[in-house]
């Protein structure tokens, strides 16, 4: 009798967890793409070994792929409704984000995005945003200016990547190293500069419970990590996954990412 009961319970468990896994597999999800610095192929002599520095030409091909395949670029408002109100996103949705706030995001990415009518979020280190436009230096990481922030606001939504707590010391960013009061003061200053309280991206993807709680208490309702994977309606809004798009990402791989079919190890 006990043996039969054991097998019945086992069968029920397998059926339940199998159904749960199937439901999770079929759950709506979206890839949140993460880019950094862009540079024309012909100019890239200083960053050829840096996987986070993508050629303008490859970025253009990826955006062309999205356009030709009728992808919709999700805004933060749409993602918020997806997460908090369980509202459906348009078919073939993807979100585009940039970290740090490089001038190349405005100089090179902006016109390509504008060409296709795409939207994106740029997480800027507000303390590094320049007070005047900079000259182009292919061997340097030039930062965006406040004038370019204003000019790019029809395409980019600008948000905080801290004000001055991005740089790591002994492998840890200032955000996770300073006192809670210092972290909060930095966040508030950055939010005021960028005029956006609701979005945040963790520098180098580093966070801890204290930081997450501090963001929540200061009005942030969506925060982005660099944890691999996709976003679904069960995702923690303050620990959202992103897909870092590396310079080696060919179109076939890019297709598997935006269709949420790429398998992470």
Which architecture, in CATH terms, is 28-258?
A: Alpha-Beta Barrel (3.20)
Q: How far apart are CA 163 and CA 125, in angstroms?
A: 5
Per-residue pLDDT at 187:
97
**Which pLDDT value is given to residue 26?**
64
Nearest Cα residue to 73 out of 20, 2, 121, 136: 121
Q: What is the pLDDT of residue 174?
A: 96
* Whole-number pLDDT of residue 27: 73
Letter string b/e over residues 180-200, b meaning 16 or more CB atoms within 10 A of that residue's CB = eeebbebbebbbebbebbbbb
| Three-state DSSP class for residue 156 | strand
List the chain domain ranges: 28-258
Ranges of residues in the chain whose predicted pLDDT is under 70: 1-26
- Name the pairing type of β-strands 37-39 and 53-55: parallel
Q: Which residues contact 140 (CB under 8 A, 6 or more apart)?
A: 46
Q: Is the Cβ–Cβ distance between 213 and 186 less than 8 Å?
A: no
Helix H or strand E segment including 56: helix 56-68
Q: What does the pLDDT read at residue 21?
A: 41
Q: Write down the pLDDT at residue 263.
A: 86
Q: Give 155-174 pLDDT, tens digit per residue.
A: 999 999 999 999 999 999 99
């Amino acid at each position: 009798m006990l043996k039969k009961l054991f097998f019945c319970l086992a069968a029920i468990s397998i059926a339940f967890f199998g159904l749960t896994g199937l439901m999770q597999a079929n759950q709506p999800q979206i890839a949140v793409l993460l880019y950094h610095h862009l540079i024309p192929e012909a100019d890239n002599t200083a960053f050829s070994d840096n996987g986070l520095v993508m050629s303008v030409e490859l970025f253009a091909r990826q955006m062309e792929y999205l356009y030709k395949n009728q992808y919709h670029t999700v805004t933060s408002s749409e993602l918020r409704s997806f997460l908090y109100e369980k509202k459906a996103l348009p078919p073939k949705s993807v979100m585009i984000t940039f970290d740090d706030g490089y001038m190349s995001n405005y100089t090179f990415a902006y016109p390509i995005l504008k060409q296709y009518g795409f939207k994106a979020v740029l997480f800027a280190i507000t303390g590094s945003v320049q007070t005047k436009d900079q000259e182009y230096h292919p061997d340097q990481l030039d930062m965006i200016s406040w004038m370019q922030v204003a000019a790019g606001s029809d395409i980019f939504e600008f948000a905080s990547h801290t004000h001055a707590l991005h740089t790591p010391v002994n492998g840890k960013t200032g955000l996770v190293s300073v006192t809670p009061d210092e972290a909060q003061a930095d966040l508030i200053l950055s939010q005021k500069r960028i005029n956006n309280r609701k979005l945040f991206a963790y520098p180098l993807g580093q966070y801890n419970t204290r930081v997450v709680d501090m963001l929540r208490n200061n009005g942030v309702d969506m925060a982005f990590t660099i944890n691999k994977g996709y976003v679904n309606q069960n995702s923690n809004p303050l620990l959202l996954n992103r897909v870092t798009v590396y310079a080696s990402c060919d179109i076939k791989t890019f297709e598997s990412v935006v269709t949420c079919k790429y398998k992470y190890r």
